[in-house]
Structure 1
Amino acid sequence: MVIIDWKPDKNLSTPIYKQIIGYVRGKISNGEWEIGEKLPTQRQLSDGFNVNRSTIIQALDELKAEGLIEAKGSKGTVIVNNTWSVLASTPPPNWQDYIESGIHRPNLSTIQVINNLEFKPEMIRLGTGELSPDVFPRKMMKKIMGRVSDKMSSLGYEQPKGSLYLRKILSQYLKKYDINVSPSSILIVSGSLQALQLISMGILHHGSMVLTEKPSYLKSLHVFQSAGMNLKGVNMDDYGIITGEIKKRKSNNKTTLLYTIPTFHNPTGIVMPDRRRKEILEICEEERLPIIEDDAYRELWLDDEPPMPIKSRDGSGIVLYLGSISKTLAAGLRIGWLVGPQPVIDRLGDIKMQTDYGASSLSQLILAEWMSSGLYDEYLIMLRKEIKLRREIALRTLEDNFSDIATWNRPKGGFYIWTNLERKISMNKLFTSAVKRNLLINPGNIYDFSYNQNLRISYSYASLDDLEMGLKKLSQLIRECYRYN
């Protein structure tokens, strides 16, 4: 569906409906809105343009008369022509047909809205899993950038697996988590998400089964499904994925692997205890079931250090281990790492070279300097204090405003508070109402395999004032939904 990013100027002498016609005609003629795309409903257009419905009807009628749009019954109003094809005998290609036939599935509509609205400055982002600009280490980064510029001799392509210098540093860094691997078993990737894309392309067959927690961050993506794989949820308890259900869910006639976030799980915040990690590894070794361990939140512990990674016990090379600085330092640097058996890393490194010729060499230099200088460890100590303060403010605000309408967990680290509403309401309606009040929330059903009454509340991004104010406004909205439900 098209996005409305403009409002008519009511101070102009040009009638409002004609301004709308001009805007829509321009979007269609310059190719931003493609033939085959569906227009929003009249009510949505009315809200988007901030005009009454009769004005929208008047504008649509004229656009229909021009042959640019057409009502398709239950399918809604669709763009059927552009100004060039009205004048020319040969119409342009219907790009929508090409888009719909593409391999990669589109994001869920809610996630598309979130992605578009996250950059509107008036929005209070209560679900964003990213560090606030308020905690960005400006002085430290300036120091690091100065050192990097002094050492930099070129910014050419790196080796297929990434900078050898950075991989050596990461090899030493991982030893503190009992992960003892050589640089040749580490692949530098452009964030953990790219690692998953490479795995889906490089080592899995079409029709493979990927098991994951229910709910899971992975469910909000279409990485594996777009590559022809099936995603299946495995139930969780308070300690993470339930080990006894892994065998039940495993397919005997298809390649299967397990994706898990055992440390500060996204979205629930659960930390899997050491005993459960050991059990999962034993079951997967017995079943010859590879594991993808996503450990992006490990350094964000706030009370006690979490148990060692599953990978630390891996003696048979069954675990592919993902790490990243997207959550701890700077998402925009787009640097993560994948650790695994050397043949797998060689294979995925070759595919990465075919897709983007390597992660940013500048970002790799910056991370190497952060880690080798000792400033990264120093920074993490300060970061944990800031994140802990944010967690306490969020929990206190929830206690003051949500105690009679919801329950929630107390996370020991990470970014998220998994909140469960006590009464059933339309989460889509709550999401839409929140957007109208300049609140951006992440409904829990985008992470689940079935409908739920959860919210993923993040205390990492919004300013401290916005965090408190936003949660209070959200409480009021939920109560309104309760009243009118």
Structure 2
Amino acid sequence: MYPTNRGILKPTNYEWSRFMKAPKYKVIINYVKEQITHGIWPVGSRLPSQRDLAKQFGVNRSTVVTALEELAADGLLEGKLGMGTIVINNTWTLMRSAPPVNWNVQVGRGTHQASLSTVQTINLAESDKSLIQLSKGELSQDLFPLEEMRSVLIKVGHELEPFGYEDPKGNRQLREAIAQYLAQKGIMVDASSILVVSGALQALHLISIGLLERESTVFLENPSYVQSLSTFQSAGMKLHGISMDTEGIIPEMIKEAHQSKNSVLYCHPNFHNPTGTLMGETRRHELLRLAETAQLPIIEDDVYGDLWLDSPPPSPIKSHDRHGNVLYLGSLSKSLNPGLRIGWVAGPEAVIDRLADLKMQTDYGSSSLSQRAAAEWLSSGLYEKHLTNVREHLKVRRNAALEALQKHLGNYAEWEKPEGGFFIWVKMNSDISLSDLYRKALAHGVLINPGRIYATQKMQNFRLSFANAPVEDLIKGIAILESLIED
């Protein structure tokens, strides 16, 4: 049977040969019936758009319309205004009086909020290799250290002994390697104060359900990557965006808004996502003093901290923390590879114990093999060697993107040069519709992230990533944006 994009089933070669003997609209009818019959599209499901089906089957839209009309006449589908084409019956419920389970209703009853529709579209589009990826927050596969990873996995395999679930806080060898790595940043923590997680996003989820009450306030930069998620909101928290300047989040504005002790500050000092802003050392000290005075816990997200391009950033806020005010998040997903699924939280031991218990309830620990591989990367010196190579290549990509922006969008936008990370925050002229540019760019094979997914208000910005697309695609994609604006 059938896998393809969007969870749609694709017929096997045998089935294709059988189906393709029929008229094309019949092929589509048989395909849709198969999807319904096998429960891939249960009652209440929305079909792919006519455009998507036409593209999938290599036909024009009128052929798709003919097929859908016949299926509607058979009582299986119905077109609903604003919703598209919906499955209303399947081949056996047509003969039943009791209505079937509507999974769409069940999906809507879940406690965790769905992603924004634009975010869902972007998530799907980021797996489309035909698109120029100016959005993707992931290192290019060209920068994946394949030979070194093979060597690490072979070494780990040769040393492998029978293993099961790891310690609730994670593999001890990895936590000790992380502690040594953090010491180089001035963060002095013991392995017992470190929790291994499956990326920093899981850390945020554990914090949201394990440390914060419902109706708590999460202060964060405005804009912020966290606004594009539903992690805190689904746990009953309220997000309160705080304005930024060239140094990052503004402490005085936090102080003015901070009315209750039932709150926490999430911040992203190094190469902020999405703006690329780097927080200065003085601002970091100001934030820590505010947090200590106001009894405001800080979640410091430092997943891009190793990806400096011009000079190392100031020491993390956590390195100056003497009262356990700061939870420090790190990860190998941005700097090495997201497929390892290795990140960490460093903080007071009681907090780490609590989060470790919740992680055990969630997934009983991250992959043992990934943890052993990560420990080898951090303890052997391979990670630092890899970072040197990544920084060199990212700097070339950043400079190429900046040059292309100046050449093609200099008359239409403004931006700041990022000193590290992945992103350039591009602010378009006010007379240019960002939503139109996003949609038209996608239709012309270029994916960008519109600023509105990172804030509660409309923003005249988009996030451009220089980390993923080849240099020639970066230049080509930016040139296409220019042509779309001029048209």
Say whether the fold is shared (TM-score over 0.5). Answer: yes
Give the residue type in structure 1 aligned to 2:350. P
Secondary structure of the residue aligned to 2:327 is: strand
Equivalents in 2 of 1:289, 1:271: separation in Å? 22
**Which one of the candidate residues 128, 133, 136 is aligned to 2:141?**
133
Secondary structure of the residue aligned to 1:298 is: coil
Q: TM-score, normalised by structure 2?
A: 0.92
Query: In structure 2, what is the equivalent of residue 314 of structure 1?
Result: 321
Check conservation: 1:259, 1:294, Cα contact below 8 A.
yes
Secondary structure of the residue aligned to 1:218 is: helix
Query: In structure 1, what is the equivalent of residue 436 of structure 2?
Result: 429
Residue 26 in structure 1 maps to residue 5 in structure 2:
no
Query: In structure 2, what is the equivalent of residue 483 of structure 1?
Result: none
**Which one of the candidate residues 167, 170, 178 is aligned to 2:175?**
167
Query: In structure 1, what is the equivalent of residue 462 of structure 2?
Result: 455
Superposition map of 1:178-327 within 5 A: 178-252=186-260, 255-327=262-334
Superposition map of 1:407-446 within 5 A: 407-446=414-453
Equivalents in 1 of 2:87, 2:435: separation in Å? 26
Secondary structure of the residue aligned to 2:396 is: helix
**Which one of the candidate residues 76, 79, 84 is aligned to 2:92?**
84
Superposed CA deviations along residues 203-251 of structure 1, whole A, max 9, x for unmatched, are 1111111111000010111111111111111111111001111023224
Query: In structure 1, what is the equivalent of residue 45 of structure 2?
Result: 37
Query: In structure 2, what is the equivalent of residue 124 of structure 1?
Result: 132
Once the two structures are TM-superposed, the CA of residue 53 in structure 1 deviates from its matched residue by 4.6
Give the residue type in structure 1 aligned to 2:329. L
**Which one of the candidate residues 395, 400, 416 is aligned to 2:402?**
395
Residue 151 in structure 1 maps to residue 162 in structure 2:
no
Which 5+ residue runs of structure 2 have no aligned equivalent? none
Give the 3 Å change call, closer, same or farther, for CA 279–373 of structure 1 in structure 2: same
Moved more, 410-419 or 224-233: 224-233
Once the two structures are TM-superposed, the CA of residue 315 in structure 1 deviates from its matched residue by 1.1
Query: In structure 1, what is the equivalent of residue 474 of structure 2?
Result: 467
Once the two structures are TM-superposed, the CA of residue 39 in structure 1 deviates from its matched residue by 4.2
Superposed CA deviations along residues 6-49 of structure 1, whole A, max 9, x for unmatched, are 9999x956333333322322222222223223346666766776
Superposed CA deviations along residues 394-427 of structure 1, whole A, max 9, x for unmatched, are 1111111111111111000000011111133343
Superposition map of 1:322-401 within 5 A: 322-401=329-408
Equivalents in 2 of 1:102, 1:124: separation in Å? 34
Give the residue type in structure 1 aligned to 2:176. K
Equivalents in 2 of 1:473, 1:7: separation in Å? 33
Equivalents in 1 of 2:69, 2:22: separation in Å? 18
Equivalents in 2 of 1:45, 1:361: separation in Å? 42
**Which one of the candidate residues 43, 48, 73 is aligned to 1:65?**
73
Give the 3 Å change call, closer, same or farther, for CA 140–74 of structure 1 in structure 2: closer
Once the two structures are TM-superposed, the CA of residue 112 in structure 1 deviates from its matched residue by 1.2
Give the 3 Å change call, closer, same or farther, for CA 251–82 of structure 1 in structure 2: farther
Secondary structure of the residue aligned to 2:107 is: helix
Superposed CA deviations along residues 138-163 of structure 1, whole A, max 9, x for unmatched, are 22212222221222213321100001
Check conservation: 2:20, 2:27, Cα contact below 8 A.
no
Equivalents in 1 of 2:243, 2:447: separation in Å? 28
Once the two structures are TM-superposed, the CA of residue 52 in structure 1 deviates from its matched residue by 4.5
Check conservation: 1:85, 1:91, Cα contact below 8 A.
yes
Once the two structures are TM-superposed, the CA of residue 51 in structure 1 deviates from its matched residue by 4.8
Give the residue type in structure 1 aligned to 2:309. L
Give the residue type in structure 2 aligned to 1:215. P
Check conservation: 2:200, 2:330, Cα contact below 8 A.
yes
Q: TM-score, normalised by structure 1?
A: 0.93
Equivalents in 1 of 2:60, 2:257: separation in Å? 52
Q: Aligned residues: percent identity?
A: 49
Equivalents in 1 of 2:7, 2:479: separation in Å? 29
Q: How many corresponding residue pairs? A: 478
Check conservation: 1:264, 1:413, Cα contact below 8 A.
yes
Equivalents in 2 of 1:466, 1:229: separation in Å? 40
Check conservation: 1:155, 1:362, Cα contact below 8 A.
no
Equivalents in 1 of 2:82, 2:419: separation in Å? 48
Give the residue type in structure 1 aligned to 2:357. D
Give the 3 Å change call, closer, same or farther, for CA 256–459 of structure 1 in structure 2: same
Check conservation: 1:7, 1:48, Cα contact below 8 A.
no
Secondary structure of the residue aligned to 1:398 is: helix
Equivalents in 2 of 1:4, 1:149: separation in Å? 34
Which 5+ residue runs of structure 1 have no aligned equivalent? 481-485
Give the 3 Å change call, closer, same or farther, for CA 53–274 of structure 1 in structure 2: same
Give the 3 Å change call, closer, same or farther, for CA 428–152 of structure 1 in structure 2: same
Once the two structures are TM-superposed, the CA of residue 3 in structure 1 deviates from its matched residue by 4.7
Equivalents in 1 of 2:66, 2:318: separation in Å? 63
Secondary structure of the residue aligned to 1:207 is: coil
Check conservation: 1:127, 1:457, Cα contact below 8 A.
yes
Give the residue type in structure 2 aligned to 1:365. R
Give the residue type in structure 2 aligned to 1:167. R
Equivalents in 1 of 2:386, 2:83: separation in Å? 53
